């Protein structure tokens, strides 16, 4: 094969591998994105690489056989998502003076795993050729030390300085001095030492007799000087530590089993995705939002995820709440949209944040994270009766309430308006610049009062009243309940569109309603602010064909001016958004609409690779015989997409926890046609735990308590 042909082949093979679904791993504040060969290919504009603390510490890592990309036999993650297993083989190799090596004569078993700031991988070379052969095996590598926001396309006026690379017999040291003064180091250690090692490549002259094998190991470590280099761990040590952590998490979680193998696989995938996205902090675990773009704490995302899995893993809520309380805003800073009492939106630790080139240091441009914080704490206490944590976080609740009351002003509505020149123009969950508009297509002027945020505020005021009673502030509890009631009354007057039988998306800065049909009012059902008299009309409108795609709810009606099923927030389908609306429908007693949305999500999941729901999908209408159309740059996994299946199970059983009275109520539980029975083992309430079997019947579901530890009471209401 001539040089030009080799180059064309390599480019084509790299493009094909990169276009397939990516392989991802995460541990703590490190993650990787690889193609189907396990490579970080050198492609312009790609997200491939090894990242630590919001910095891509290795941009390129590619394995070549005699200068050519190997062929992919299989590429997958282990069931616990601790390791990537990539099996490769050689292409046809012919070189002057040597006997040709037929394709698929050599297997390259490549295994990759992460532990904290270390990426470890091995390549086991196995020969199945009939004759002895020798070939060149090469690793090519490079580091750009790009901030994750640079990788996402943000241009910088200037960058730091690359430190000259150093190569020894078995190690290569790459470095970068950032504009923040931090020296970032990436070190590659090869075992055994390569036959030739430069600052760009490691070459092994491999000669494997037929029927034998050899193993090559590469450890990549990242640190910031003057930090001490972390101890190098081999693959076995890493896997032992990772499995111990997984066993601890699994031991704390409620075990869930159903008669449906597809549901069981969905549950397993969702739980391992969620656990991979968890990051341990001094405050406990907090779910990071998603890979690759959102490997960071996000107030809204982390809190909604904690709520989704509250019944089954309450420790996630505890860690999330403590972390967010510790970083609650304490001063006024327009650059970060910070105001005392607010809960953070996004927290980054890369060079651009440190240099304040971006405001995420942390950034507080979120109008809904603060009420969601109170909602999550109230729900956590309903399940655990953790009075100690309620008392510990009560000052944070009080500060949050002061911010909410101050922000709401005379009309009682929570509004947002960007102050940071680099912040988000829209600060609800639909935070694209063009997500909030009028029916004409004109963008809504700030300050904006979003419909779902008023629902969150209502639930937060009600939840705060419960917490106030618990910690001994009964007088304050009464005031909060009165405020919640007044908000609900005014909300119906100002947001209800009688001619549409639906709620407006928002009120703009002039008090004018944004009369567009969106998925947002589904959140109002979930939060409980919607009037019973309007709920049925809302339910019917949500299930109409312009909003319901068949896979889930569109974020914006197909009839609206700005509708685009390939947009981020103006017609796409977000699984967590649909699940929240489904939970709201169930709350108001609309079982069939709930089942319709739940079934659509289930049928979406089973058509996604590995049953991994992505961050979002395109909003095209469902076509019989075909699956959903993926959004090209959606994060997968995404925490609140992983939480969807748990949220749906919670809504099917309609739990009503009361840890204060040690009673767990199931309100008219139901199961869909695709689940005949489910078992819950170790479902906790306060200091007790129970095991339940739920079986589908003609009307509703039967519940049997098959195990109990402690004296919690289980009540089933029909």
Q: Tell me: the pLDDT tens digits for 256-282?
A: 999 999 999 999 999 999 999 999 999
Count of C-beta atoms within a 10 Å radius of residue 439: 16
**DSSP per residue, 652-704:** HHTEEEETTTTEEEEES----TT-SEEEEEEEEETTEEEEEEEEE-SSSEEEE
Q: Mean pLDDT over residues 243-257, rounded?
A: 90
pLDDT attached to residue 226: 82
pLDDT for 699 equals 85
Which range (175-184, 221-230, 589-598) has the least confidence? 221-230
pLDDT at residue 250 in the model = 85
DSSP for 244-291, written as a single string: HHHHHHHHHSPEEEES-HHHHHHHHHHHHHHHHHEEEETTEEEE--BT
Q: Are 562 and 437 in contact (CB under 8 A)?
A: yes
Q: Is the CA virtual torsion 553, 556, 557, 563 positive or negative?
A: negative
For residue 16, what pLDDT is reported?
45
Res. 415: pLDDT tops 90: yes
> Tokens standing for 399?
């500060």
235, pLDDT greater than 90: no
Q: What is the pLDDT at residue 97?
A: 62
pLDDT given at position 9 = 39
696/513 Cα distance (integer angstroms): 43
Q: To the nearest whole percent, how much of the chain has pLDDT over 90?
A: 84
Q: Confidence class of residue 208 from pLDDT cuts 50, 70 and 90?
A: confident
H helix or E strand, kind and range, residue 63: strand 60-65
Q: Express each pLDDT in 161-207 by its tens digit.
A: 999 999 999 999 999 999 999 999 999 999 999 999 999 999 999 88
Tokens of 347: 């927290």
Q: 1 pLDDT exceeds 50?
A: no
340 or 136, greater pLDDT: 340
Average pLDDT over every residue of 41-53: 92
* Alpha carbon distance 458, 485 (integer Å): 8
Cβ partners under 8 Å of residue 536, min gap 6: 588, 590
Contacts of 389 (CB under 8 A, 6+ apart): 318, 321, 322, 377, 380, 381
Which band of pLDDT confidence, cut at 50, 70 and 90, is reported for residue 105? confident
Cβ(477)–Cβ(542) under 8 Å? no
623 pLDDT band, cuts 50/70/90, is very high
Asked whether 53 and 350 are in contact (CB, 8 A), the reply is yes
pLDDT given for residue 6 in this prediction: 41
| C-alpha distances out from residue 604 to 14, 277, 596, 614, 633, Å | 29, 22, 12, 10, 18
How many of the other CB atoms lie within 10 Å of CB of 89? Answer: 17
- Residue 98: pLDDT over 80: no
442-473 in b/e form (b: 16+ CB < 10 A) is ebbebbbbbbbbbbbbbbbbbbbbbbbbbbeb
In the structure, what pLDDT confidence band is assigned to residue 45 with cuts at 50, 70 and 90? confident
Contact 119, 32 (CB under 8 A): yes
What six digits make up the tokens of 120? 């470890």
Would you kindly state where each structural domain of the chain is located, as residue ranges? Answer: 3-241, 253-653, 663-717
Counting beta carbons within 10 angstroms of the beta carbon of residue 4, is it exposed (0 to 12), middle (13 to 18) or buried (19 or more)?
exposed
CA atoms of 415 and 436, how far apart (whole Å): 13
Assess whether pLDDT exceeds 60 at residue 5.
Answer: no
Instruction: pLDDT band for 96, please (50, 70, 90 cuts).
Output: low
Of 249 and 403, the one with more pLDDT: 403
Residues 6+ apart with CB under 8 A from 537: 501, 502
Structure tokens at 144: 């750009």
Mean pLDDT of 385-394: 98
What pLDDT shows up at residue 3?
37
Residue 218: predicted pLDDT: 96
Q: Are the CB atoms for 493 and 529 separated by under 8 Å?
A: no
613 and 641 in contact (C-beta within 8 Å)?
A: yes
**What per-residue confidence (pLDDT) applies to 19?**
55
Sheet strand arrangement including 60-65: 60-65, 133-142, 201-208, 196-197
pLDDT confidence bin for 24, thresholds 50/70/90: very high
The residues, ordered by sequence, that sit 6+ positions from 216 with a Cβ below 8 Å of its Cβ are 122, 123, 124, 125, 137, 190, 191, 192, 204
Q: What are phi and psi of 257, to 5 degrees?
A: -140, 140
Burial class (CB in 10 A: 0-12, 13-18, 19+), 690: buried
Residue 614, pLDDT score: 95
Highest CATH level, class, for 253-653:
mainly alpha
Of the listed ranges 253-267, 297-311, 402-416, 504-518, the least confidently predicted one is 402-416
556-590 confidence digits (pLDDT tens): 999 999 999 999 999 999 999 999 999 999 999 99
User: Encoding tokens for residue 659?
Assistant: 């840890």
HSE at residue 605, side-chain half, CA atoms within 13 A, is: 29
Tokens of 151: 């990788």
Greatest distance between any 2 Cα atoms in the chain: 92
Q: Which pTM does this prediction carry?
A: 0.93
Q: Tell me if 3-241 shares its fold with 253-653.
A: no
pLDDT at 135 over 90: no
Read off the tokens for 606: 């089973």
Mean pLDDT, the chain, whole residue set: 93
Lowest mean pLDDT among 231-245, 374-388, 542-556, 641-655: 231-245
Residue 203's pLDDT is 97
Q: Evaluate whether 311 touches 253 at the Cβ level (below 8 Å).
A: no
Residues composing the chain: 718
What would the mean pLDDT of 103-115 be, rounded to a whole number?
A: 91
Question: Is it the case that residue 477 has pLDDT exceeding 70?
Answer: yes
Give the DSSP letter string of 173-234.
EEEEE-TTS-EEEEEEEEESPPSEE-SSEEEEEEEE-TT-EEEEEEEEEEEEETSPPPPP--
| CATH homologous superfamily, domain 3-241 | Glycoside hydrolase, family 65, N-terminal domain (2.70.98.40)
Q: What is the mean pLDDT of residues 385-395?
A: 98
Read off the pLDDT of each residue in 625-650 and give the average, rounded to a whole number: 95
Do 403 and 330 touch, CB atoms closer than 8 A? no
């Amino acid at each position: 094969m001539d040089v030009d042909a080799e180059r064309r082949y390599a480019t084509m093979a790299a493009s094909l591998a990169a276009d397939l679904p990516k392989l991802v791993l995460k541990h703590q504040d490190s993650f990787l994105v690889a193609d189907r060969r396990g490579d970080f290919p050198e492609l312009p504009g790609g997200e491939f690489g090894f990242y630590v603390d919001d910095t891509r510490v290795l941009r390129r890592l590619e394995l070549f056989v005699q200068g050519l990309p190997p062929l992919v036999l299989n590429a997958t993650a282990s069931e616990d998502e601790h390791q990537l297993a990539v099996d490769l083989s050689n292409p046809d190799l012919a070189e002057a003076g040597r006997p040709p090596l037929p394709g698929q004569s050599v297997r390259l078993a490549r295994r990759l795993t992460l532990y904290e700031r270390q990426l470890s991988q091995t390549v086991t070379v196995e020969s199945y050729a009939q004759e002895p052969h020798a070939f060149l095996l090469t690793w090519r590598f490079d580091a750009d030390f790009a901030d994750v926001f640079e990788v996402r396309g943000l241009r910088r006026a200037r960058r730091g300085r690359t430190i000259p690379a150093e190569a020894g017999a078995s190690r290569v040291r790459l470095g970068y001095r950032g504009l923040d003064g931090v020296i970032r180091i990436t070190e590659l250690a090869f075992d055994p030492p390569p036959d030739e090692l430069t600052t760009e490549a490691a070459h092994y002259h491999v000669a494997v007799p037929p029927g034998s094998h050899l193993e090559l190991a590469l450890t990549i470590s990242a640190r910031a000087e003057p930090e001490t280099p972390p101890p190098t761990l081999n693959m076995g040590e890493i896997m032992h530590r990772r499995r111990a952590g997984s066993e601890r998490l699994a031991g704390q979680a409620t075990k869930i089993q159903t008669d449906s193998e597809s549901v069981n696989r969905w549950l397993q995938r969702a739980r391992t995705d969620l656990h991979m996205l968890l990051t341990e902090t001094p405050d406990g675990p907090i779910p990071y939002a998603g890979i690759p773009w959102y490997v960071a704490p996000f107030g809204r995302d982390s809190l909604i995820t904690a709520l989704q899995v509250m019944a089954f893993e309450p420790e996630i809520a505890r860690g999330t709440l403590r972390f967010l309380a510790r970083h609650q805003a304490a001063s006024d800073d327009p650059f970060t949209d910070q105001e005392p009492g607010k809960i953070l939106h996004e927290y980054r630790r890369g060079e651009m944040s440190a240099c304040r080139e971006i405001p995420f240091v942390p950034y507080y441009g979120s109008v809904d994270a603060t009420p969601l914080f109170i909602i999550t704490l109230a729900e956590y206490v309903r399940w655990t009766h953790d009075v100690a944590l309620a008392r510990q976080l009560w000052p944070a609740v009080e500060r949050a309430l002061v911010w909410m009351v101050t922000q709401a002003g005379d009309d009682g509505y929570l509004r947002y308006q960007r102050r940071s020149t680099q912040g988000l123009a829209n600060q609800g969950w639909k935070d694209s610049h063009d997500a909030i508009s009028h029916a004409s297509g004109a963008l809504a002027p700030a300050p904006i009062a979003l419909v779902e945020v008023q629902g969150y505020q209502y639930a937060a005021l009600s939840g705060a009243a419960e917490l106030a009673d618990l910690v001994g502030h009964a007088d304050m509890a009464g005031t909060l309940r009165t405020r919640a009631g007044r908000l609900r009354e005014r909300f119906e007057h100002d947001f209800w569109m009688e001619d549409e039988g639906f709620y407006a998306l928002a009120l703009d800065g002039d008090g004018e309603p944004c009369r567009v049909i969106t998925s947002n009012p589904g959140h109002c059902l979930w939060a409980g602010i919607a009037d019973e008299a309007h709920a049925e009309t809302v339910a019917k409108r949500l299930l109409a064909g312009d909003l319901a795609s068949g896979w889930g709810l569109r974020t914006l009606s197909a009839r609206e001016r700005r509708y685009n099923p390939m947009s981020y927030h103006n017609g796409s389908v977000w699984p967590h958004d649909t699940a929240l609306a489904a939970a709201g429908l169930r709350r108001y007693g609309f079982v069939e609409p709930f089942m319709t949305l739940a079934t659509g999500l289930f049928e979406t999941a089973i058509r996604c690779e590995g049953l991994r729901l992505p961050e979002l999908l395109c909003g095209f209408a469902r076509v019989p015989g075909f699956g959903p159309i993926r959004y090209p740059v959606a994060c997968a996994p995404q925490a609140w997409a992983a939480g969807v299946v748990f949220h749906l199970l919670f809504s099917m059983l309609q739990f009503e926890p009361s840890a204060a009275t040690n009673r767990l109520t199931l309100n008219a539980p139901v199961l869909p046609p695709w689940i005949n029975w489910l078992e819950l083992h170790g479902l906790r309430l306060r200091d007790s735990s129970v095991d339940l079997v739920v079986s589908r019947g003609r009307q509703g579901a039967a519940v049997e308590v098959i195990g109990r530890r402690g004296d919690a009471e289980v009540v089933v209401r029909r």
